[in-house]
Amino acid sequence: MKNSSLVSITDYSVDDILQILDLASFFEKNPRPNFISDKVVATLFFEPSTRTRLSFETAIQRLGGRVIGFTDAGTSSVSKGETLKDTVLTVANYADLIVMRHPIEGSARYASEISPVPVINAGDGANQHPTQTLLDLYSIKKTQGKLENLNIVMVGDLKYGRTVHSLIHALSNFNPTFHFVSHKILETPNEYKLFLDEKGIKYFEYSNLDNAIAQADVIYMTRVQKERFSDLMEYEKTKDAYVLRRDMLEGVKPNMKVMHPLPRVNEISIDVDDTVQAYYFQQARNGVYTRQAIIAKVLGIDVK
């Protein structure tokens, strides 16, 4: 395996993606192999996180590695005015791999270009969240038995949602049909629709969630991301537009699953949590196996 950063899901070929899913399955069955006991991994989180940071740190520890880093840039020398470049070059002296979340789009690409050690993008602004996408694909394959020819209903913040943007790119390799459900203000950006047009991938846009549900193999709910809005009036107009309730799941396909990258605010009613369709907490668990696989690949560890 080669040693390289993961910044965008488009850095990975279909073969790379399938290799990660295969490795994740291996790690699900073999959770604690000591593959990186000589490695230190830095987790630099310039934005809040629960799942991404903690599942990465769990993955590192299950692989036998050690973790350094910060969860709040305010406790680092960034608060004194240190640049991203100086932070990355300094931390690269201490760690074999950097996992970074940052609010600025393109920051992970920049870090990967200046860093002497590989960088994994744990989310850069509204741009990309490739490790979430890989765990989403793992979850889809695990529940649906395949990735090909699925009807994927994406709901909520399709404009700022980096998880949605990465997932559109990745799933486009597997002939999906997308059903985009969003408020007009938060619809899928044109660049993604043009990309799908060029690839000949079908997509439909809806303002009413009820009209999309019956076709779904997966409903991918997302949070309206208050932190990305420059105009809070627009947030107020859109924040309650779509709420998935238990009664809306009557008549869905037998194997349909509801996924969400989390955190949720109110877009999935808690009465959905104990339905057979709810999969979002198992999805978060899959993040550990998938991130073990990503770390192994990025560090060039021969697992099998």
DSSP structural state of residue 228: G
259 belongs to the binding site for ligand CP (CB under 6 A): no
268 belongs to the binding site for ligand CP (CB under 6 A): no
**Dihedral angle computed from the Cα positions of residues 161, 164, 141 and 267, in that order, rounded to the nearest 10 degrees:** 50
49 belongs to the binding site for ligand CP (CB under 6 A): yes
Angle at alpha carbon of residue 183, lines to 180 and 186, rounded to 5°: 80
The nearer residue to ligand CP, 130 or 201, going by C-beta atoms, is 130
Of 84, 164, 219, 262, which lies in the binding site for ligand CP, with binding defined by CB under 6 A?
262
Of 4, 26, 33, 51, which lies in the binding site for ligand CP, with binding defined by CB under 6 A?
51
Of 87, 132, 173, 277, which lies in the binding site for ligand CP, with binding defined by CB under 6 A?
132
Q: How far apart are CA 4 and CA 297, in angstroms?
A: 8
Q: How far apart are CA 25 and CA 296, in angstroms?
A: 13
Q: Which stretch binds ligand CP (CB under 6 A): 35-43, 102-110, 148-156, 260-268?
A: 260-268
Of 5, 8, 43, 52, which lies in the binding site for ligand CP, with binding defined by CB under 6 A?
52
Cβ burial of 288 (10 Å; 0-12, 13-18, 19+) is buried
The nearer residue to ligand CP, 259 or 298, going by C-beta atoms, is 259
Q: How far apart are CA 10 and CA 169, in angstroms?
A: 7
The nearer residue to ligand CP, 73 or 201, going by C-beta atoms, is 73
Specify which residues 268 forms β-bridges with: 244
172 belongs to the binding site for ligand CP (CB under 6 A): no
DSSP state string for 175-198: --EEEEE--GGGPPPHHHHHHHHH
Catalytic residue positions? 51-52, 80, 101, 129
Q: Which stretch binds ligand CP (CB under 6 A): 20-28, 45-53, 106-114, 195-203?
A: 45-53
Q: CB 166 → ligand CP: shortest distance, Å? A: 11
The site for ligand CP (CB under 6 A) is made up of 49-52, 123, 132, 261-263
